[in-house]
A and B are shown apart, each in its own frame.
Chain A
Amino acid sequence: DADVTQTPRNRITKTGKRIMLECSQTKGHDRMYWYRQDPGLGLQLIYYSFDVKDINKGEISDGYSVSRQAQAKFSLSLESAIPNQTALYFCATSDLGLDTQYFGPGTRLTVL
């Protein structure tokens, strides 16, 4: 079984809809991250969390919010989706003190 899972894997939605992407991990890591990837732009950090009570904005947090429900769960919400949020979204985890990140399989989101 995968250590980092994301649901859904694919989602098509309409402008203005609220969307939640979920991430779960069984690696026991404290740190979790949400990224988006666009062609030609590389991965950009949206939010990160070092523990359940610690949430931080990344480079491109506008239009997104997150919730860390437990050590193992970190969800990303788009309150009112817009077409330029169409992208591939990755969740990642890392262990305390180590910078290596482990990625989930990604969620492909299309906003029409």
Chain B
Amino acid sequence: RKEVEQDPGPFNVPEGATVAFNCTYSNSASQSFFWYRQDCRKEPKLLMSVYSSGNEDGRFTAQLNRASQYISLLIRDSKLSDSATYLCVVFSMGRTSGTYKYIFGTGTRLKVLA
């Protein structure tokens, strides 16, 4: 089982639609969670961190469910410019081993259609 799993998509949605992505992770000791956006052949850019209480940034809402070990991203009122690949990222650092793990999912591709 991969440490971080995402549905690769693509999700094809019309402009104005609401779309949601989920991401599951296997390490229950994971400490931090993020969503990054990556445009084709470009570098990933931080979209938002994900907090236990859930957080919102404009049209984007992120949720964390530690019990079920998944995070989600909801995009409301989709724009053409939202078309991209969305990467789920999970961070953990072993307190005794000092192991640093910043694990990227393979991404979910979103296409917003006119």
Contact = CB atoms under 8 A, between A and B. Distances in A.
A45 B93 CA distance: 14
B106 A40 contact: yes
A74 interface: no
Interface string B29-66: 00110100000011111100100000000000000000
A101 interface: yes
B91 A99 contact: yes
Contacts of A99: 31-32, 34, 91, 102
Contacts of B70: none
A103 B106 contact: no
Contacts, number: 43
B75 interface: no
Main secondary structure of the interface of A (DSSP, over half): strand
B54 to A, nearest CB: 18
Nearest to B49: A100
Contacts of A35: 104
B43 A43 contact: no
Nearest to A44: B104
Shortest 7 CB-CB contacts between residues of A and residues of B = A103-B43, A43-B104, A42-B106, A42-B104, A99-B32, A99-B91, A103-B44
Interface of B: 4, 8, 31-32, 34, 41-46, 49, 87, 91, 100-102, 104-107
Interface of A: 33, 35, 40-45, 48, 56, 88, 90, 99-106, 108
